[in-house]
């Protein structure tokens, strides 16, 4: 659900006025909002007295159901109240779950962020990973690879891509098979830095595979 509220705002020159600010963003309702947010164009206001244009900070609930991302974005100045924010977030999350139509599907934890900048950085880094995943999907058949997906929230938690390469006909439920798939991909394109990083990680700690194998489909 995308929600905006009329809020009282003070401009950097001390003028007080009211403006409509977004306090909840649902990307599934309104995909364009994600780009506006990344371009830092949401909640930009212009002071009616002095004309100053600035970003009006307020609490934002960000939800992208496809990517399994729920972020509670508190104003940066709340950073020293992290514990209280976390308690508040838990309560509000439980409440929100009761209102979500797709509540059965929400089995992932919300993230707590401070400042819109942190959300923008997170979205940009996930876009980078998505670009690499798109390259893998494109190359898969040429490189005789199969791909398998894991849940976006799990991939985010482990800081790994959510589309994984396996040699065609290989066993998808084995770490060694995933490692060969990653090697084939990277030998072909060593610019896929998130996959390079993942190969390094899983070659060192094959046990990472235990965290993902039940989720592979
Ligand atoms: Zn002003």
List, for residues 31-83, the tens digit of each pLDDT value: 899 999 999 999 999 999 999 999 999 999 999 989 999 999 999 999 899 89
Give pLDDT, residue 217. Answer: 73
Give pLDDT, residue 105. Answer: 65
Alpha carbon of 17 to ligand 1 centroid (Å): 9
Residues 6 or more apart from 127 whose CB is under 8 A from it? 38
Q: Give the pLDDT mean for 124-142.
A: 96
Residue 104: pLDDT over 60: no
Same-domain status, 109 and 136: no
Residue span of the structural domain in which 144 resides: 127-215
Q: Give the pLDDT mean for 191-214.
A: 94
Residue 123: pLDDT over 90: yes
Give pLDDT, residue 171. Answer: 77
* Domain-ending residue, one of 61, 90, 114: 114
Alpha carbon of 12 to ligand 1 centroid (Å): 6
Note residues around ion ligand 1 (Cβ under 5 angstroms). Answer: 11, 13, 15, 47, 49-50, 52
Alpha carbon of 47 to ligand 1 centroid (Å): 5
Mean pLDDT of the chain, nearest integer: 92
* Domain-ending residue, one of 58, 82, 114: 114
Tokens encoding 180: 């060969």
10 Å CB burial of residue 90 (0-12, 13-18, 19+) is: middle
Higher pLDDT, 144 or 109: 144
Q: Is residue 120 part of a domain?
A: no
Same-domain status, 108 and 10: yes
Alpha carbon of 79 to ligand 1 centroid (Å): 26
Alpha carbon of 53 to ligand 1 centroid (Å): 9
Same-domain status, 171 and 84: no
Higher pLDDT, 216 or 100: 216
Give pLDDT, residue 102. Answer: 60
* Domain-ending residue, one of 68, 87, 114: 114
- Does the pTM surpass 0.85? The reply is yes
């Amino acid at each position: 659900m995308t929600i905006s509220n009329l809020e009282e705002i003070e401009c950097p020159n001390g003028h007080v006025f009211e403006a409509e600010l977004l306090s909840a963003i649902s990307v599934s309702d309104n995909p364009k909002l994600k780009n506006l947010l990344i371009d830092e164009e949401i909640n930009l206001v212009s002071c009616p007295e002095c004309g100053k244009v600035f970003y009006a900070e307020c609490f934002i609930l960000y939800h992208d159901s496809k990517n399994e991302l729920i972020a509670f974005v508190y104003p940066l100045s709340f950073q020293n109240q992290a514990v209280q924010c976390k308690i508040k977030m838990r309560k509000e999350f439980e409440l929100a779950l009761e209102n979500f139509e797709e509540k059965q599907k929400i089995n992932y934890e919300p993230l707590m962020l401070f400042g819109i900048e942190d959300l923008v950085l997170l979205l940009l880094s996930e876009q980078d990973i998505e670009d690499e995943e798109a390259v893998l999907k494109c190359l898969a058949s040429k490189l005789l690879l199969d791909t398998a997906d894991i849940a976006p929230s799990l991939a985010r938690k482990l800081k790994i891509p959510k589309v994984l390469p396996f040699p065609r006909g290989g066993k998808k439920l084995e770490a060694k098979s995933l490692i060969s798939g990653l090697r084939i991909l990277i030998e072909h394109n060593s610019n896929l830095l998130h996959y390079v990083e993942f190969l390094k990680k899983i070659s060192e700690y094959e046990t990472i595979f235990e965290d993902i194998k039940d989720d592979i489909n």
